[in-house]
Structure 1
Amino acid sequence: MSPRTHTPPSDSDPSMSRQCTPSTSNASQSASVPVAFDPDPDIPLPSIEGEPDLGSSLTAHNNSTPRARTPSFSISPPTSEENTSFPPSVSPTYGANPPARSQISGIGERVGNLVLSGESATRQSSSRETISTPSRSGQDHSSSRLTTPTNEGYSPPGSTIDGIAGVMANVQLGSKPRSPTPGNYLDPRSPSPGVIHRDGSRSPRSASRRRSGSHVDQTPHNVADEEPPHERFHEPEFQRELAHSRDLVGDLVNILASSSLHNESESRIRTLYLQAVDLSRFQHPSTRTVGLVGDSGVGKSSLLNSLLDFEGFARTSNSGAACTCVATEYHYHEHNSFALEIEYFTLDELREQLTELLQSYRHYHLREPDDNRMTADERHELEEKAKTAQAAQDTFRAAFRDHLAHSDRFLLDEPEENVVQTLLTWAMSSGLPLTKGPGGNPRKEVFDDARKCSDHLMGLTSEPISPNEPSKWPFIRKIKVYLNAYILSKGLILVDLPGLRDLNAARLRITERYLLKCDEIFAICYIGRATTDAGVEGVFKLARRASLSRIGIICTKSDDILADEAQRDWEGDTKMKISNMTREIGNLQTDLDTIEAEISELSFDSDAVDDEENQQLRRLTARSRKIKLKNYLITTRNQRVTDALQTMYQNQIPRADLPVFCVSNVDYWEHRARPKVESWPFLCLSGIPEVRKHCLSLVAASQLHAATEYVTNAIPALLGSVELWVQSGSGSVSAERKQAIRNALDEIERELDTVSFYGKKFSRMLVHFPKKKVHYANGRAVQRSDQWSRAALNATSEWEGWHPNSYSAFCRNYGNYSTIAAGSHCWNVEATQTMITQMATPWQAFHQNLLALQANLSRTIEGSFDRAIAQSNATSVPTGSLRTLTATLRHRQAMLVSHVDKLGDEFQDDISILQTDLFSGIRSSFVGQLMEPSYNTCKNDSGRGSDARRKSTMRQGFGSNQLFPNIRRKFRNRISELSRDLDHQIQEAIATHLTVVQRDLDTLRNENVALESESHPEFRRRLEEAVHRIREQMESALAVFSPLRLSTAGTG
């Protein structure tokens, strides 16, 4: 099947329009305003409603409901066998309290209970010319509003309107029109808009049918109201207590700020005030990264716009070509402004890229004349080289357009080193902030509106408008975009990545490294080619090699489907159902044409009015059937594609379920700005809210851990520190007791000093540990390297028996390829298999020892704090201050251990990536990096004798006595770098937490602090009352959060 996009008829088509006179709020007056009316069944339905006894009515979204998470209506699956249900990718979801049956439950019932309203509004255009910023806090950023219909009377029983409503109430509809819901409402006084009596008045019969009391909430959909994931963190009770706890900290901030002490730099209150301010801004610090990867043109940028709820923000270039050639990260910030942070390649990295591009370009253009006797494989190889050479030429022209405007011969005529050096000189003179080595500060630019930021972003990632202006994207490594989007506010980072089939090797390596670090990866593809998409296949191939498990698929353009094509492609009951629906629509359209012809010949009497009502009924019925057909086509195709993809790829990843989503960005934006009671079923069918919900679920566990730590430890520890200040000024402690307290504090301080000591000891062990456990002790390194080299050389001998064309194909694909004759192979893995086998057991032991080392550090910290707390309990003169200190130390202990454990978890993630680099054989692995020059040499070789030269090159590469020592060297350097980073982070964490503890000790020991507290009795009294009140009000939150402390351990 080859689906094609169907373009709805234009609203301005004169052949499809009529005169529509909307009514005013006065039942006796109406203004005749011509409004275009389109009878095409493709147009979504206006709102029509029957009499109250029909048992269902529109229910507006109740903004007064506390913490509403879902709209006040739901999508109910049709009950008849002809009606369709939603597939998993667009399944309807409900909140904690499902709506009553009398509420609107979907498009079917909404159309089945249509209201003939007296108002009419101009139909909104389905195309948009400006960026639409997201709806925040219920704000509507759309440029137009639908007119709220008015119903000022009831139709008498037995009227024709009753018949229309009764028939339409039984029409079960789908959830997806092709075009946006129009804003015009039909005039209830005349079932045929535009039909006017000779005296200029409307039919008195229809004039009596005015209704009153109906109101449709015009508030557009708010992303924040979407149902959250079914996770503990998102439960209303949990969110309520978390928000209340944060508010209580805000109250404490206000109390601390009520004294001038909070402005005095040497005051203890100043320190406590800053701690309280920091805690009052708690915003779920944990983050998770979601990577979107796919080939050019599959709709990644459009998908990002929908997920971010910013229409048109990430755009294609002026020519319409896709422009994801730079890795682009989307981060949250709470400001309404927008910011771009740009990171450029270093000059060394540019030299490497330019050399590689130049070699590909020169090899193709300086090759020997083509032989007319080339085989099909040889022609295919030449076509691939031509594409690579064209990509190189495009990059050169984009980066150095002003220098290469007249001729590219310079790239071919000069020696390679001279050309590369000249290109680097041009790059350095471009004015871009290029540095020789890493460590330069990224450039950050701030914009006050979305359009300016979007324009600048497009200028950075695609071709500029001016033909003489060079592009910036060849010099950019990555871009970070900061904006206030709801999905990002929960801790997500979305990354738009070039595809794994990118012809630019540097971009491909960047994508590969990103995917290793992502918490979730989505392969993006067009739904019409999902099961054959090479980009999706490449993502799963990488996942197998690199042991990645969190993989999913998002199919775009789910709306791009036509009934006649689906009927040809599908079989059985599905084909018959589509045929029946299509025939019904055709028959209704024929009846409509006949009725319209008859009406045009009739005089304006009651019979004509009845015919007009009949015409309108048939028009609405035809429209509803078309919506139902479209919904059936989309949901059926979505389910078929989902099943097929899960069958193909489920067994290639270790996770239990492969998430597959089918989305339509077109449908999302066509209905996004409409009233939420009208738009929500269509937004659900677009699939975007479901993807957003899934992404938010990725952060839930880490957010739960962070929030639990905040409520159960961070806030109580702060209250304890404040309470110590209050108690230090009580003045009721005798000299003997003060001395006892000081002695106890000295002992506590000595015990806590051991935390720093053991932290430094751990760091030394961590840095030297890899050398002892992995680095080939006892002089066996050379012996093993020789053994591994011989095994690698033997592997190359097996490949040399292949046909030259197969051998060349594997070289072009860096050893990771599959042919019918040779089968599927990864040369990098096969050549290093002996090393992988022999290193498996030592690596496992190394990993287990690292885990034990980290666990020992956590136990050591806990033991030091336990001994310190024991000292505070051992004094013979217990005081309230020491009891408060003991409780505070418990909280500080838990916070430090949690921090260290989190650093350990991040270190283990890095170790997992290191394992991939050592054993996987992917292109960016250690062996892949070391063998890349050999592959490039083979790839650029051609002509007579090229097969022998390729095989010689690969033998020399894999058989080199430096290959495995270089792999060891890369491993040693990386593990040392990771160890040093962890050492620095742990030392910093210990120092930070112990500094806070030291301040608590000084609060009880320092006479100046006691004097400060004694000198402000009224402020001390207010602060004491505030701490007592906050502790009491925190009890409900602690009852909710405390049971979670153990269950969330290790999920930060």
Structure 2
Amino acid sequence: MDAPAVGSADLMKLDWLQKLASETSPSKLESGTEAGLQILENIKSALVDAKDVAEIARYLKTIHDIQSQASTQRTVVGVVGSTGAGKSSVINAVLDEECIVPTNCMRACTAVITEIQYNDSEDPSQKYRTEIHFISKEEWIKELRILFDDLRNGAHQPGHDHMGNDTEAGVAYSKIRSVYPDLTRDEIFNFHTPHGLAEQPSVRGLLGSVKVLTAPLAKDFSSLLGKYVDSKEKSRGRKKESEVMEFWPLIKVVKIFTRSPALASGLVLVDLPGTQDSNAARSAMAARYIEQCTGFVTVICSKTDDITATEALKSLPEDEQAHQLYEQQQALEAKLVKTQEEHGPVRQEIDDCTKLIEEYQKEIDAIESALSIEDNEPEILFSSPESLKRKPRAAALKARKRSKTSFDSDDSESEDSEDDYEAPEARQESISKADAQLHLRNVKSKKKTLLDRKEKLNRTAKPLHKEIKALKCQVKDLSSRVINECIKYRNGYSRPAIQQQFADGIRELDQDNAAQRDADSFDPDHEERDYAAVASALSVFCVSARAYQKLSGRLEKDSHTPFKGFRGIEDSGIPALQRHALSITQSVRAANCRKFLNDLSHLFVTLMMQVVVEEKPLKLADKEKEQELKFIERAVNELRKDIGLSILRACQAWRDLIRVHITNKFSLAMRLAVDDVTTTVDSWAQPKVDGGLPAQTYRATCVRDGVFKGAAGPHDFNKELSEPLEKRLAQGWERVFSTHFPQRLDALGEELSRKLKKFQVKMEQHPIMKQSLWYDFVARQILPFEELFKETKYLKALANIGQKEASRLIKPAIYEAMKSAYEHCGQESGMGCFKRIKEYMDAHVGSVRTTMFKTATTNAKARLDKMVEEVAQEIEKDTDRIIGLVEEDYKSLVVDRDIFKALTAARESLHDILFTADKQFRRIY
């Protein structure tokens, strides 16, 4: 079939593409993006032979730029929680993997930061891939110096088990031996230095390197990875034969790549052991990951399967269905016991009959065997089986008699005596064949009597057995339903309770800030915000990773473990969490796709106009063309100026907003914080009973630049010193960047969209332009750009990054001011060292407390100013791009640039591609 004539009206239609560009459905948008990417590849193929032509090269670059927009954007979600809370198990379940992230019910298994993201490789041998990033040599030497210091200080504590697992010295020794399992404590001190240990062949090649592991199967991958990230228990003596070097102390981060559907949209999960890690490099890395995390707050309550009905029912109201189900369960259990008691004697007598029948059969077989021998002897030698030398057990006979009384409905056989069940006496002698025949008939008769009796007993037992089986199933089902109701009640109670606790915490923070801001006018009954909305906005998920894995057919080694209370996979809570994880990326994905489709639409129009160039230009004389181009330039310049003024006014409004709510509060907040830090430092020096720090903990914290996680818990001097300032700025900061700033961005987007619409109306009123066949098509192109101005999510994300970085500049400024004090105090030792440490720290803080807060606020203000500039520049960049495209479209109606004049093959190929393009998008609907 011949292609339609060049320039036909059908070629101009992009209705389905433009409809897609305003979609909200992530699935449709992503399908449209995939279709668009394929069309772009076809266009590139059509143009590749003419890539040396300047105009064609420009189009190819434009195509490349549009394609790059379709790349998946990372959305980082950190998973934090206490040791043993089940973080790794939950992550595995969300990923639909049994054990991608190593887990262990006996100890903390993931001792390193673990980042999990989507694996783009389609190579089956690399289905699972990991990059293990090791710390640098300098970082390991610094860590070893700290560990050596802990060992030395532990040795100076007489009368104390300084090498115990709960002491700094014990932890330090265990960590060193994890990497160097051959070393004893004495060998470490007498023969090694931190620098020397870092040069050991076993670690020298690892430090600063990245090790890549791949595997086609999850179980093989987990085994490979576990060798690096698993932390094992250590003994305090010399190395055992089974102990080998561990790698986790040397690892900064582990990056796992897997083709999990949950990650395909750009979601990145990070399993964070904690930001108070004693390894400085890993602690800093954890802090950086937290900075990358999105603003979503989500609470996950794991291990919902950890529940017992007996305990749970005590907490449930009496009218809850669980109590009714439990009563039904107890009634059925009582009935089951009674039925089993009835069934027991019958079953026992059946078993006894079976044994006697087997014994008589042996007797029959022996006699028949002897009689089968063909000879002329009048007698046979007959020997009774050994098992028939005694009578049946008295207990069995008594049970039989009891069962007759209880269950026989026919008394015709109830007159049988015990002799009927008596086995023949064992003997070994010659008897006549005639007597043998008589004896055989007698034994067969007794066997027949037992078979009849057994058949009758089976008829009695069968309904009882069936009833027992049915009762057991009913009891099991009720037991599961009781647990299910208990879990549902606990989950239903926990979710709103956690949400309310969260809202109450926000309320307390607001009230505290309000009281600090103006104590005289503070009203505790005044609600600063809608706290019910704050509570409902918090996502809370109650999940059981183990139940989900089991119900999904995994955890085969745990086949003996019952999972009562989960009627289906949905009850485990994991599917809902998976859907939530996907939804986190939806807004980012949707905005990205819409931008891609809008730019794609513009490219198509531009190329269409070049393909049908003979119908495109207005039929104007050169002077008229010049006048029209000047008109377009004036209109565009007015648009640029108008939009520029809007951006300028918006930037000033943002700066005013930040000044009023944040930077104007710096002076008062600093004065109050200066007083508070003196109290904070004094609290460190108090006796332990009054909440102070032990001497060793105080010094160990200084050695580690103010951050230490010891047996007594985590300590962060820098955080404690910065909190008085951060706390007083928190309310205004949060209000600006959670409410006011996003609203102002939306308002600016609406304003710019209106200005572009105004430009379009102006062009519509120009009579010459509308004479072009292509005018309506070009005019329609402005509509997606109007919507693009309203798309402010990426601007909000940019502003959010900037304000986060600004808020996090306070603590580093405190650290810089305190660094010399930490170094000095960390080097103190010997008699009176603790007194000297406290005195020096008190004096140092007194001398720097004002300047460090001044530096912190100055740095924060500079970053906020830079953030405003970054947002403004991003808006200007986008508006310049959009206005440039609009200008090019309108000028193309006037200027004849037939770039395909000498490229007939490329023109024909493009014609076919563009003519069918919109049909590709129609299929999505």
Fold similarity call, TM over 0.5: yes
1:310 aligned to which of 90, 93, 97: 97
1:396 aligned to which of 155, 167, 176: 176
- Distance (whole Å) between structure 2 residues aligned to residue 641 and residue 881 of structure 1: 61
Report the Cα offset of residue 308 of structure 1: 0.6
Equivalent residue letter for 2:800: D
- Distance (whole Å) between structure 1 residues aligned to residue 670 and residue 225 of structure 2: 51
CA offsets per residue over residues 355-376 of structure 1, 9 Å max, x none?
Answer: 44443343223x34237xxxxx
Find out whether 1:689 has 2:436 as its counterpart.
no
Report the Cα offset of residue 338 of structure 1: 3.1
Contact residue 570 and residue 576 of structure 2 kept, 8 A:
yes
Match of 2:483 in 1: 633
Find out whether 1:554 has 2:301 as its counterpart.
yes
Equivalent residue letter for 2:535: A
Report the CA distance shift for 1:1028/1:909 in structure 2 as closer, same or farther (over 3 A).
closer
Where 1:494 maps in the other structure, the secondary structure is strand
Report the CA distance shift for 1:621/1:933 in structure 2 as closer, same or farther (over 3 A).
farther
Higher relative contact order (CA 8 A, sep 6+): 2
- Distance (whole Å) between structure 2 residues aligned to residue 808 and residue 627 of structure 1: 55
Report the CA distance shift for 1:321/1:831 in structure 2 as closer, same or farther (over 3 A).
closer
Report the CA distance shift for 1:348/1:303 in structure 2 as closer, same or farther (over 3 A).
same
Of stretches 335-344 and 988-997 in structure 1, the one that deviates more from structure 2 is: 988-997
Match of 2:839 in 1: 952
Match of 1:887 in 2: 780
The residue correspondences of 1:874-913 to structure 2 (distance < 5 A) are 874=766, 876-878=768-770, 879-892=772-785, 894-895=787-788, 897=789, 901-913=792-804
Contact residue 559 and residue 667 of structure 1 kept, 8 A:
yes
Contact residue 327 and residue 498 of structure 1 kept, 8 A:
yes
- Distance (whole Å) between structure 2 residues aligned to residue 793 and residue 315 of structure 1: 42
- Distance (whole Å) between structure 2 residues aligned to residue 842 and residue 664 of structure 1: 37
- Distance (whole Å) between structure 1 residues aligned to residue 643 and residue 187 of structure 2: 62
2:229 aligned to which of 455, 458, 461: 461
Contact residue 554 and residue 661 of structure 1 kept, 8 A:
yes
Report the Cα offset of residue 694 of structure 1: 3.1
Report the CA distance shift for 1:462/1:687 in structure 2 as closer, same or farther (over 3 A).
same
Match of 1:1011 in 2: 901
Report the Cα offset of residue 698 of structure 1: 3.1
- Distance (whole Å) between structure 2 residues aligned to residue 515 and residue 990 of structure 1: 32
- Distance (whole Å) between structure 2 residues aligned to residue 773 and residue 480 of structure 1: 43
Contact residue 821 and residue 844 of structure 2 kept, 8 A:
yes
Match of 2:182 in 1: 405
**RMSD of the TM alignment (CA)?**
5.8
CA offsets per residue over residues 640-691 of structure 1, 9 Å max, x none?
Answer: 36635637655225631454433333322222149xxx99942123222222
Report the CA distance shift for 1:1015/1:312 in structure 2 as closer, same or farther (over 3 A).
closer
1:643 aligned to which of 462, 468, 493: 493
Find out whether 1:581 has 2:329 as its counterpart.
yes
Find out whether 1:477 has 2:252 as its counterpart.
yes
Match of 1:224 in 2: none
Where 1:960 maps in the other structure, the secondary structure is helix
Find out whether 1:518 has 2:305 as its counterpart.
no
2:204 aligned to which of 415, 430, 438: 430
Where 1:884 maps in the other structure, the secondary structure is helix
Report the Cα offset of residue 293 of structure 1: 1.5
Where 2:77 maps in the other structure, the secondary structure is strand
The residue correspondences of 1:761-780 to structure 2 (distance < 5 A) are none
Where 1:495 maps in the other structure, the secondary structure is strand
- Distance (whole Å) between structure 1 residues aligned to residue 460 and residue 625 of structure 2: 99
Equivalent residue letter for 1:670: K
Equivalent residue letter for 1:393: Y
Report the CA distance shift for 1:240/1:970 in structure 2 as closer, same or farther (over 3 A).
closer
Find out whether 1:369 has 2:158 as its counterpart.
yes
CA offsets per residue over residues 813-844 of structure 1, 9 Å max, x none?
Answer: 98999xxxxxx999966787479759988998
- Distance (whole Å) between structure 2 residues aligned to residue 776 and residue 277 of structure 1: 43
Contact residue 289 and residue 494 of structure 1 kept, 8 A:
yes
- Distance (whole Å) between structure 2 residues aligned to residue 839 and residue 621 of structure 1: 61
- Distance (whole Å) between structure 1 residues aligned to residue 633 and residue 815 of structure 2: 57
- Distance (whole Å) between structure 2 residues aligned to residue 797 and residue 446 of structure 1: 50
Match of 1:199 in 2: none
Report the CA distance shift for 1:854/1:698 in structure 2 as closer, same or farther (over 3 A).
closer
Contact residue 360 and residue 385 of structure 1 kept, 8 A:
no
Report the Cα offset of residue 498 of structure 1: 0.4
- Distance (whole Å) between structure 1 residues aligned to residue 859 and residue 900 of structure 2: 57
2:81 aligned to which of 274, 290, 294: 294
Report the Cα offset of residue 512 of structure 1: 4.8
- Distance (whole Å) between structure 2 residues aligned to residue 578 and residue 846 of structure 1: 51
The residue correspondences of 1:464-863 to structure 2 (distance < 5 A) are 470-499=245-274, 502-504=277-279, 507-508=282-283, 510-519=285-294, 550-556=297-303, 558-563=304-309, 578=326, 581-582=329-330, 584-585=332-333, 587-588=335-336, 591-592=339-340, 594-595=342-343, 598-599=346-347, 601-602=349-350, 605=455, 608=458, 611-637=461-487, 639-640=489-490, 643=493, 646=498, 651-653=504-506, 655-657=534-536, 658-673=538-553, 681-706=567-592, 713-730=598-615, 733-734=618-619, 736=621, 743=630, 791-792=675-676, 794-795=678-679, 799=683, 802-809=686-693, 812=697, 833=724
CA offsets per residue over residues 966-1025 of structure 1, 9 Å max, x none?
Answer: 535654675588678768866876787678668767966463425267776755654564
Where 1:477 maps in the other structure, the secondary structure is strand
Where 1:612 maps in the other structure, the secondary structure is helix
Report the CA distance shift for 1:387/1:751 in structure 2 as closer, same or farther (over 3 A).
farther
Match of 1:50 in 2: none
2:116 aligned to which of 323, 330, 351: 330
Where 2:255 maps in the other structure, the secondary structure is strand
Equivalent residue letter for 2:605: G
1:964 aligned to which of 846, 853, 861: 853
Contact residue 1013 and residue 1020 of structure 1 kept, 8 A:
no
Contact residue 116 and residue 255 of structure 2 kept, 8 A:
yes
- Distance (whole Å) between structure 1 residues aligned to residue 827 and residue 491 of structure 2: 40
Match of 1:360 in 2: 150
Work out the percentage of aligned pairs sharing the same amino acid.
17
Find out whether 1:450 has 2:335 as its counterpart.
no
Report the Cα offset of residue 632 of structure 1: 1.5
Contact residue 345 and residue 476 of structure 1 kept, 8 A:
yes
- Distance (whole Å) between structure 1 residues aligned to residue 474 and residue 56 of structure 2: 68
Report the Cα offset of residue 629 of structure 1: 1.1
Equivalent residue letter for 2:206: L
- Distance (whole Å) between structure 2 residues aligned to residue 506 and residue 476 of structure 1: 9
Report the CA distance shift for 1:908/1:709 in structure 2 as closer, same or farther (over 3 A).
same
Where 2:535 maps in the other structure, the secondary structure is coil
Match of 1:535 in 2: none
- Distance (whole Å) between structure 2 residues aligned to residue 843 and residue 433 of structure 1: 41
- Distance (whole Å) between structure 1 residues aligned to residue 901 and residue 84 of structure 2: 70
CA offsets per residue over residues 136-192 of structure 1, 9 Å max, x none?
Answer: xxxxxxxxxxxxxxxxxxxxxxxxxxxxxxxxxxxxxxxxxxxxxxxxxxxxxxxxx
Count of aligned positions: 730
Report the CA distance shift for 1:670/1:393 in structure 2 as closer, same or farther (over 3 A).
same
Where 1:1011 maps in the other structure, the secondary structure is coil
Where 2:899 maps in the other structure, the secondary structure is helix
Which protein is richer in helix relative to its size? 2
Of stretches 840-849 and 1014-1023 in structure 1, the one that deviates more from structure 2 is: 840-849
Contact residue 79 and residue 272 of structure 2 kept, 8 A:
yes
Match of 1:1026 in 2: 916
- Distance (whole Å) between structure 1 residues aligned to residue 737 and residue 33 of structure 2: 43
CA offsets per residue over residues 193-230 of structure 1, 9 Å max, x none?
Answer: xxxxxxxxxxxxxxxxxxxxxxxxxxxxxxxxxxxxxx
Query: So what's the TM-score if we normalise by structure 1?
Result: 0.56
